[in-house]
Each structure stands twice: as structure tokens, then as C-alpha cells.
Chains A and B, each alone.
Chain A
Amino acid sequence: MSIRDAALSARAVTDAILAGLGKAERGVVVDSPPGAGKSTLVVAAAASLAERGERVMVVGQTNDQVDDLIDRMAAEHGVLRIGRLSAQDYVPAPRIARHPNVTARTAIADLVDHPLVIATAAKWATLGEAGLRWPWAIVDEAYQMRSDALLRIARLFDKALFVGDPGQLDPFSTVATERWLGLNWDPMSSAVAVLLTNNPGIPVHTLPVSWRLPATAAPVVSAAFYPFSGFTAATERGDRAMKWNTHPFGMTSFDLALQTAADSGWALYELPHRHTLRTDADAVDACAELAARVLLRGAVAVSEQGTHDVTADRIAIGVAHRDQAAAVRRALAARAAAYPVLSGPGRDVTSVVADTANRLQGREFDLLIMLHPLSGRRDATAFHLEAGRLCVLASRHRHACVVVARAGIPELLDAHPSAEPVHLGVPVKFPDGWEAHQSFMAHLTRFRVTASA
């Protein structure tokens, strides 16, 4: 598909959704695969409803997500007055403060006359004033939202548009939640799951193309994580490329992995098999070294949007656990000390984003380096097998994804078929994490680079 065709097909779906809003009785759900223009849709829907004179409340999940949305809305619709409802200790981010049409307040009374009010779900839930009601709500990242959060804000709106990515991580809790399994209003289910169970008539749309994922990644991610809805890349293979400013001295396995990733969109940097602690020092070092190497050699990303240097903030290292993220950050700091050239704007290796899958949700980078959740493990628990975790890590990149892992993951998967109990009344989750991992690994082994000893 050419970019033009992709744009047309995406436009047709978006137009149908916006037209459908007028006829919706209760609400509309839009499933959006990674990078399929979810934010674009939210911005367009908010503007379209506001133009019709409806007051709209927009619900985000985190302050960062809310600020990103406001930034886009304010930039694209300069005439629209946008209210940012926030907690007491919120300091408007620079990207918000620069828009004259955005007002940030902590009390809703100061914002009721704004056609568009945006806040996090947690902030909306604190509103105690009676009689507050909006004809329309737009709930962003609705699959990340727990249904109990929706319960707390549902009295505020008549109709709602729910937008989210069904392949991402499910909401979680630190306490045991079995007692609610199978209930139509399980507070641990996502807001969309509960909404659709209780209101089966609500229409569900799916956005068809991914603008973020390159042609090398979309089919893999689609087959592994969206086997039923599916999606395609908006770009073709020739539209994207990653090039280097320098040639390496010789060809270390790091260079080989990066070259493989630049050529094919994927690389598996494989360390020798070993059972390790979560913060596997070798794997963590490999992640940091790969990121440092990209900056040292100077990478250039070519895409339909133009050509730019791959700066440190365009590289991410994704992990499963917080202590791994901390270990990677320390390793990056060590690289900064070891390579004095890695400083200055764009080349500061400590600006590489190292975080967990949960924190990387909704973000986009040129290159993602993934510490595989199953690397070095003796067992495959439900946490490490979760399809959403792998999906988030495998779908953040515009150009390439390098996976760092210990050898032996296929064997580990074979030894640990998923054995989660099946509960009455709980829809079976597809794709199941074990299957998604197998499918993903099967693809990845074609791009294996063995770490040099």
C-alpha cells in the first residue's frame, strides 16, 4: 500500500467514526493498533464535537498523556479554548504554558465555560460538585483504565467515545482480585471490557493502518498480537531507512546487530545461555553498549517525514522490571563516564530513555532496544508471558528494534506452556501470551547475532 492509499483508507475510517458520533446512543469504542493515529482521532473528535457546540470532557490516564494531548489540540485548533483541570501540585509543563488558549486551573468552577476540559481520570474522580454533567466524554487510553476508575467518573457524562489499544498491558493491582473474576463489573477489567459486557450494542471500530511501525514490523506485530483484527503499515519498505555517519572499526557483534536491525528492522542480540538474576549484568551492559554505539557512530533516520539524526532521546531501552530499568540507567551513566565524546545535545547517552514497558506505553522512538522479558529466566510466569508487555516493547519503534536476550527462550517457552486457570464468565484472552511469544521468537531468530565472547 502506498502512503496515499493508507491515508485514504485511514481517513475513510476516521470520517465514518466522526459521522457515527452524531448517531451514537450511548457511546463508541475505537480500537487502535500501535501508532495508528489514536491521538489524531481524539483531537479530531474533540474539535468536531466542540464545533457542533457540545461541551466535551476529555479523560486521560496520566499527566504526561494529558499534556501531550493538550499540546496537539492547542496547536491544531488555536481558536478552541481548552481547560486543563489539574491537582494542586501540578506545574504546567512548558509545552502547555506556551499555548495562550489553554487555561490550567485546579477548580472545575473556573473552567465550566470552556468547550473542552481535559484532566486525568484520577482528577475527574475527585469532582464532588453536584449537577456537573457533560454531553460528551472522550476517554483516551481506555484499555489502560481500570473499570473502577470509569465507575467513578461515569456520572459526569451522557455519551462517550472510548479510544485505546487493546494489545497493550492490562491494568493491574497489587492485591489479590480473584473474588471478582467473572463479574460483569470486575473492577480489575479494563474500562472497555466492562463497558462492552454491560452494553453489547455499542459499536466497535478498528483503525486500519499504523503510521509508526515500519513495513518490517507491522506484519510481525499484527500476526503475533492482533491476529483477528490485524493492521498494515502505512509506509512501504523503501519509505524508511536507517543509515550510519561512520564506518565501524572492524565489525563487533554490536555493530553486526545494529547493521542487521538497520537493514531488516529487527535484530536478536543473543548472549550465551545462563540462568541469571533479574538485573543480569551482561544483558544490561549489552543494552547500554548498543545504545552508546548508535550515538558514537551517529545514526540517521530517513522516513516519509524527512531525515534526522537519531538523537539520544529518540532511543529507548525497554525492560520488564523497575530494578532492570535502574540498572540500565546506571550502565548508561557508566558509558557517559567512559566515552567523553558522548556529551552535548543529542549525544548525551544518559538521555536515552530506559524504562519499563508500563511506562513506555503510548510513546514512540526511532530505535528501541528491548531486554527480553524471558532472558535468563528459569521459569516463564504469567507476568513475563503477558502478551501486552511484549507487544508494548515490540511496537514503540519507527525504524528498528534490537532484542537483547540470553539463548534458550524457545526451549523455556516449550517447557512452560501457559497454565493459567480458566474462570467461568471470563472471556479467554487472545492472543494468549505464550502463543504471542512463540510467534514473535520464531520471527526474531531469523535475525540472530551471537554476542562475541
Chain B
Amino acid sequence: MTALTALARAAAASAGRARPVKTVRHVHLSGRPLVLVAAQLAGEACAPLAVLAGDDREKPDLLVAYEPRDRTQRFAFAAELAAVVLPYLDGYADDAADPETEPYPDAPQILVPNLPSVSFLRLLGRSTRFRQAEGEYAVPAAVPLLGRWLTYYAERAEVTPSALLVPLTTALADHWATGQSAVEDANLAALLGWIDPPGGMTGPAAARAAEDPVRCPPAGPVTDPTFDNEVLAPILQAMREATLAGDSARLSRARAALDHALRSQLEPTWALMWRAVDLLRALPAAAHVEQRWRADRSSFTNQVGWIRAGGAPQARRDSAVAAARRLARLEREQQRLAVERAYDDPLVMAEYRMTGEAFAGEVTEAEPGRLDTESGKRPVLRPRITVATADEVLFTPGAVLRSPARPAQQATVVDTGLPDAAMFPASTVFPASPRPGDPRTLVTLELKGGMGRSLTPAPGSVPAVGEHVTYTSLRDEFQAAAKFPDIQDTPWTHGGPPPEYVPDDEDAREQWQ
């Protein structure tokens, strides 16, 4: 936690209400997201119990696995889920566009409450993507298809700039600081209690109220243990007895009771999810969000192409080369995201100002027409500006900086001298603490690029005296993509080339666990 976040959390705790820590929204929000709230059976690894899903906040679909311990019913449940998810995804694979050249105009976004829900979808995808529609243990054809899509979405969620699958607690906690711990922030109801407490309540009171599982059932996929013992277990028992006795009337009564019970568990979270969406939508989108969403759209377009071409399911494990490639890509994207967020949002940039990787201040002098006649044969335009800042400047002359307002322009630090020794009385004890807003350092910068081709800078391309500017060493440098060996050339240090994947009957026999 940075000092700034710590401060925001302390402020939130003392005010009893969450503090915004971002000025803009850094995550894309679809106009028509697929919201998905899941519940699983306690004690079993990824036994889906129920899902409440849909893109219409008034009419969610409730899907229930009536006997979650029965493997056959699990696949029936997966088929039902596929019947909700796949048509939604297909709706975005617009055939009118030419996916070879241009990504689909929009992509489907899935919203889940929290990170464990992402893991749940990943496991569900893992359990279904290798199944086969023919032969032994055949399943409906939509099931392996669903598995591939869920796996795709879960893997995409690992890519930090991606907004295809968003856990809302993560998105909310990114934009607001609460007075509670990060673990408590993972509870959607408590987090929303801090951010937007219901009328008359304080944040802490709302968060405490959210701890009552009767009022606010858990957001899944883990269910409330009391609900498991006192509601779920008797219904499952009644259902089993009815099945054994062949009593269809009693069975359908028990099923209706289970529907009702699960709906009551999931609907409060469903409402909270849409409230969270409203809160996030109220923030203006950051400048780079559109560009990142374009990357998501291209990725989705490629995935549609891959699946339509009958592509194989994603491998169980990454091979050595695939793992290294993926890691390189994830790191690269993460780094770019950090730069983009800082450029888009002064509150993010403030973190870098505190660590000395950026400074902000007012332009006190500008020589927009300055020509450098000494360095080369021909004179070149090298305007200089002087910025007075109260930030601590750790840059040394020669450092190359950029400004979010003029990203195409390079600014080289020429001098970082103190404004005037006379500013400090002789009795000053070092380090002299500047008063807030007291310009302490004068930084002289030489500008290059982004000013047009002539020897007079284009209007507005050089900061004018009085303009408030920010300069930072943070920049998104172009990096050539890292070279990796081909998979068949995996070296001996990493175990040599892996065997090629051939789908076989073992895939179908694999247990769901």
C-alpha cells in the first residue's frame, strides 16, 4: 500500500465513508454486460449449484443443478448455462463485419462479483472444455464449447488491462478507498456499504450490516454455511427421498423449494452487482479505456475465428515456451497499463510524484522560439521552459521526461537548481520543509519533438508561462517483442520438446473434480 492509499484509507475511516482515489474510470463497462452470480456446493471442488445470469437487470435467468453431486446432472447444468452464455456471446460476433481486417464493433463483457467467482468460471471451463459430443460419456455439443469460452474469459482476466471478465469488487476497490481491510473489501456488500451507504447509515455501519448472511448472503461462489445446513441439506434430502420413492409430485415440490431458496440467496447479490455497475458508470471513462477495449475486441474477434474454425481446446498446462511467452506478454501489458493509468489520472500520477518519478508545477519562464545552433550543422528548434514545483525533484540533468499533456514531446532536464539561496533564511535547519504550495525547486527543461516541422513551434505545442504542467520519467517505450524458440525447439534445459497434444478418449473419461 502506498502512502497515498494509506492516507485515503485513514481519511475514509475517520469520515465513515469511502474516498474516491481515482478521478476517472479505468475499466471499460459495456452497455449490455452479462452479469453472472454463481453458487457452488460446499465440500466439493467446483460442483456448480446455481447461477443467476443475464444481461437484463429485471429478468435474470436462474439455473439450478438439482443434484450437484450427480456428474450427469452437472453436464446438464453446463448445457443449460451454455444456452444462456453462448447466444449472448454470438450476439457480438457480427457477421456483417470483416473480422480479418477489423475487430467486431463491440465485445461481450462478463461481470462477476469477486475473484473467487473468476476461479469458479476457470474451473468450470477446465471441467468442460475437453469433453466430447460423441463416443463414450458423450455430452451436449454446447458443453465443450462453453468450456472453451469460459477458459478464454478466465485467461483473459489474467491480462491486467483486459475488461472482458471483470470482478466488480476489484474494480470498485481500485476506484475507492475504504476504512476497512483489503480482505473485507473483497466482500461486495461491505464494500458497497462503504462507498454508497443506504440512507442515513455510515459506511462502517453499512459494512457491519452486510456481515449478516441473512440480510446479505455471500456473493458466491461459496454459500453461507447456515444456509447449507438448515435450508439446502433438508431440501436435497427431500429430493433424494422423493427420487428413490418415485414420488414425482413430492420431487417437483422439493425442486420448487430449492429454486426459491437459491433465488433468495443470489438475488441480493444480483441487485448489488447492478448498483456497482451504476456507481462505476457514473465516473467518466479514462482516455485510454477505449484503446484497451479495442485490444479486447480484437482478442475476442480472434477467439471467435479460432472456435469457428474448430480449434482445439486450450492446453491443460502451458508448455515451457508457451509459459514464457505468456509471462512476457502479461508483464509487458501490465507495464503499459501502469503508464496509461498515470497519464490518464492525476491521482495516479500523484503516487509517482510522491516517489520522485514525476513532478508538477507552473511554468515560470518559456523560450518557445529557442534554436540550438551549436550541436549540429543546422539550427534545430529546442525550446526551453522553467517549471517551479513544490514536489521533491529527484531527477538529475540529462534525464528524459514526458508530459501527459504532450506525450509526443521529449523534455530533457537541463538544471534542477534551487530557486534562490536567499529563499532559505540562514537559520534554516536542513532539510527545510516547504510550506504547501511553496515552489521550492526550479526545473529547466529542453523540449524536443511534437512541435511541427518548421523552426517556429506550432501554437500550443510549447507550454506557456502560467500553465500547470506535469513531467514524469514514466513512459511507454516501444519494446520489440521478445524472441522465444518454437515449441518443437524447446531446449534440453527445459526438458526438450513436449509431446504433441492429440485429443483422445482419456479426455472424456477424466473425472469432474
A residues adjacent to B (C-beta < 8 A): 26, 125-126, 128, 147-148, 150-152, 154-155, 160, 173-177, 179-180, 183-188, 191, 194-195, 198-199, 277-279, 322-323, 326, 330, 334, 337-338
Contacts and interface: CB of A to CB of B under 8 A. Distances in A.
B483 A185 contact: no
B91 interface: no
Given A185-B323, A188-B327, A194 B493 contact: yes
Interface string B344-358: 000000000011100
Interface stretch (B207-215, B279-287, B313-321): B313-321
B501 interface: no
Nearest to A197: B495
Contacts of B422: none
Nearest to A174: B334
Contact of A187 (B158, B324, B483, B491): B324
Nearest to B429: A338
B184 interface: no
A161 to B, nearest CB: 13
B486 to A, nearest CB: 10
A151 B491 contact: yes
Given A126-B480, A187-B324, A198-B492, 9 more contacts: A147-B494, A151-B324, A152-B485, A154-B493, A173-B327, A180-B327, A185-B324, A194-B494, A199-B493
Contacts of B323: 148, 180, 183, 185-187
Query: Size range of the interface on B?
Result: 35 or more
A211 to B, nearest CB: 30
Given A152-B324, A173-B327, A338-B430, A326 B355 contact: yes
B330 interface: yes
Contacts of A326: 355-356, 394
A278 B335 CA distance: 24
Nearest to A182: B317
Contact of B160 (A175, A183, A188): A175
Q: In terms of DSSP, what is the predominant structure of the interface of chain B?
A: loop
Contact of B491 (A128, A155, A179): A155
Interface in B478-499: 480, 482-485, 489-496
Nearest to A335: B430
Given A185-B320, A323-B355, A334-B430, A175 B491 contact: no
A105 to B, nearest CB: 19
B331 A151 contact: no
Interface in B287-341: 317-321, 323-324, 327-328, 330-331, 334-335
B436 interface: no
B495 A152 contact: no
A193 to B, nearest CB: 11
The 8 closest A-B pairs by CB, nearest first: A154-B491, A185-B320, A148-B324, A198-B495, A175-B330, A154-B493, A185-B494, A187-B324
B121 to A, nearest CB: 14
Contacts of A191: 493
Nearest to A184: B495
Given A148-B328, A174-B334, A323-B355, A126 B483 contact: yes
Nearest to B321: A151
A167 to B, nearest CB: 22
Nearest to A128: B483
A26 B491 CA distance: 12
Contact of B493 (A151, A187, A323): A151
Nearest to B480: A126
23 contacts: A125-B482, A128-B483, A150-B494, A151-B484, A152-B484, A154-B492, A154-B494, A175-B158, A175-B331, A180-B327, A185-B320, A185-B323, A185-B324, A187-B324, A188-B327, A198-B495, A277-B6, A322-B355, A326-B355, A326-B356, A334-B430, A334-B431, A337-B430
A278 B3 CA distance: 8
Contacts of B392: 330
